[in-house]
Structure 1
């Protein structure tokens, strides 16, 4: 927390931001940002607070500027670090409760949020973007179900299988997500233990064929066109079947770059990247990006984001790759091809997947993983 005696002056607050801006390689960018009307207005409002803390920032209207200023102050030691996704979820859940029609069901959702999602987040070292989004999605669908029941005068305690079947049949396949809420309701004895959602049939998602994967990889390893960050991420998705959510969380502790070798730790194994798959990684090691501003003074993220001290958001990276391929279709296509060549146990260990996940993709085993990687590298 920062304090200052003169609550009517902006100088103390601005000094904290200005100190951060001094470390910038290109100071003009910081001055341009400070002179934008919406930034000046935000800092003027912040200057009226007797203290600068996470709590005083939370009292100001939510905006990108608020998040960016908070990030700068945290990265440069002016505010303590906190789990921003956990804080965002608490704020979101408070608003979500207002969407519940009935008082009784609002109490149910409040307990679901507090004793299931927030308790889980409190036990984590750091809330991941995936956990944050799944928690929002689970509560949103649960609210939809309870409002549907409320409109028919049915309390959650009187839920029957026929009600679930009707509700699920009337809506999109995303209603299956209510199974997460249903499991919690069963465990807390709100509903009968025999209730079940109709599962979505697996294996229906589109996947890239081997030819489509090779074509996409040819475009990725081309020397011109894509940004090195996008090329590096695309290699991990196309060749190693990695989820974007895992890719964005890589740090330079996971990557080794020497004149002879580039390797990336996936799961618990260091995977060597032969030429030309190593080229975007060598480029990133020299020019990691986002180093002209004060947002990343000590960042160890491989894929730095626009927000101070944060990695790029998975949705943003996925959108950047969308013109080349669907990351989901590419990942499923890769796993499909890998399981033709390599035993499940090897793939699961090398790529950080649960064996049961790989088992669903497995259709045979004929050669080694190293031969697969070499074959993909030789497509150039």
Structure 2
């Protein structure tokens, strides 16, 4: 294709040898028109700059650019084509966030404190989460906000009292009045500063009380929508399976997008029945939903055109190579199906389930924290003693028909 050859042409007019593997990946576009559109947009412009030598083909060069969707997508394609070495992308982006934040600080003392806070508190948190179950972009954004909040608080303290060592509780409280939404992030910084002997140990911020939205989707709307998704073949299989898992089992979209084929189980005694390993115990799905899940496994494809022929472990693949669909994308897709809010749909499902199955069993099946499951149990009018009663009743042999 002429457009492809022109995009990858080096200074000598021939295809860039370094970028040749990327050109081979892009040639896998099923629709030539889609490829032409991509090459004429910012992604294609970046490729032209690399081919001509105006932009170095490296992670560092891409890090120096504004981190747009085009930059992220091109980086992922270069890693897929093995032009660039793979790396822990979110961790690398967080390191970039730290550098960008520190570059904005003009006061040397504040910059030193923030650098220490990032190096000895925030980075260990990022590595811990990476080692435990992966460091995702939501966790990265949370740590970035912690650093940004520390920067704002330090700037306020310097303008009011000069240094950290003579800050007072009244000064911190005044800052908090205007920055209530940053209370927990500021608390994290002050606790670290106190343990590092940078501020008086008497200065503190209480943890903010979290308010949880308990509004629900009505049972009638929830059940009818789930039934429509199970039976309507005109909807995309990805949206049908995700919608059913949200409406029937109260699953969050950020958990769904990280499901892989390793989470799928096959029932050893009932043919055609599939399950999901969401918690400690396997959750076996009803036959109709099992059939939909099997169809999803067979038909799932990455959203990006050049990746359609490549295998992916994710049940809900995304646009970027080796990455799942984002939670926000899945929520928008479910909104179009008549699910106005995934939180309301989940709340309705949980309120219905805790009325039929004990909260502890649900927590083990669906991978929810015991405290959250028990809170829903209390909202439904139950108490902890009901678990003991249910176990005692189950252990007694029936002497007559119930």
| TM tier, smaller | 0.7 to 0.9
Conserved in 2, the CA contact under 8 Å of 1:248 and 1:312?
yes
Count of residue correspondences: 362
Equivalence for 1:373 = none
User: Which residue, 179, 183, 199 being the options, matches 1:171?
Assistant: 179
Cα-to-partner distance string for 1:157-208 (whole Å, 9 max, x where unaligned): 3333323332222334343332222332233333344444344434442431
Cα-to-partner distance string for 1:87-108 (whole Å, 9 max, x where unaligned): 1111122222244464322222
Equivalence for 1:356 = 371
1:1-380 alignment runs, 5 A limit: 10-24=15-29, 26=30, 28=32, 31-33=35-37, 35-47=39-51, 48=53, 52-60=57-65, 62-100=67-105, 102-123=107-128, 124-125=130-131, 126-211=134-219, 213-214=222-223, 216-218=225-227, 220-221=229-230, 223=232, 226-256=235-265, 260-290=272-302, 293-295=305-307, 297-322=310-335, 324-363=339-378, 364=382
Secondary structure of the structure 2 residue equivalent to 1:263: strand
> Could you tell me how far apart the structure 2 residues matched to 1:159 and 1:331 are?
44
Higher gyration radius (CA): 2
> Could you tell me how far apart the structure 2 residues matched to 1:195 and 1:287 are?
57
Cα-to-partner distance string for 1:294-314 (whole Å, 9 max, x where unaligned): 236231111111112211112
Cα-to-partner distance string for 1:236-261 (whole Å, 9 max, x where unaligned): 33332323222111111112468611
Q: Structure 1 unaligned segments of length 5 or more: list them.
A: 1-5, 369-380
Secondary structure of the structure 2 residue equivalent to 1:362: helix
TM-score normalised by the chain length of structure 1: 0.81
> Could you tell me how far apart the structure 2 residues matched to 1:201 and 1:291 are?
39
> Could you tell me how far apart the structure 2 residues matched to 1:41 and 1:333 are?
48
Structure 1 position 51, deviation (Å) = 6.8
Conserved in 2, the CA contact under 8 Å of 1:86 and 1:121?
yes
Equivalence for 1:375 = none
**Alpha-carbon RMSD:** 3.2
> Could you tell me how far apart the structure 2 residues matched to 1:216 and 1:162 are?
53
Structure 1 position 72, deviation (Å) = 1.7
Compared CA separation, residues 54 and 98, structure 1 to 2 (3 A) = closer
Structure 1 position 222, deviation (Å) = 5.0
Compared CA separation, residues 271 and 43, structure 1 to 2 (3 A) = same
Structure 1 position 154, deviation (Å) = 4.5
Cα-to-partner distance string for 1:215-252 (whole Å, 9 max, x where unaligned): 55345445156432223222333332323222111111
User: Comparing 332-341 with 311-320, which one deviates more in the overlay?
Assistant: 332-341
> Could you tell me how far apart the structure 2 residues matched to 1:172 and 1:355 are?
29
Structure 1 position 274, deviation (Å) = 0.6
Structure 1 position 263, deviation (Å) = 1.4
Compared CA separation, residues 203 and 267, structure 1 to 2 (3 A) = same
> Could you tell me how far apart the structure 2 residues matched to 1:66 and 1:292 are?
15
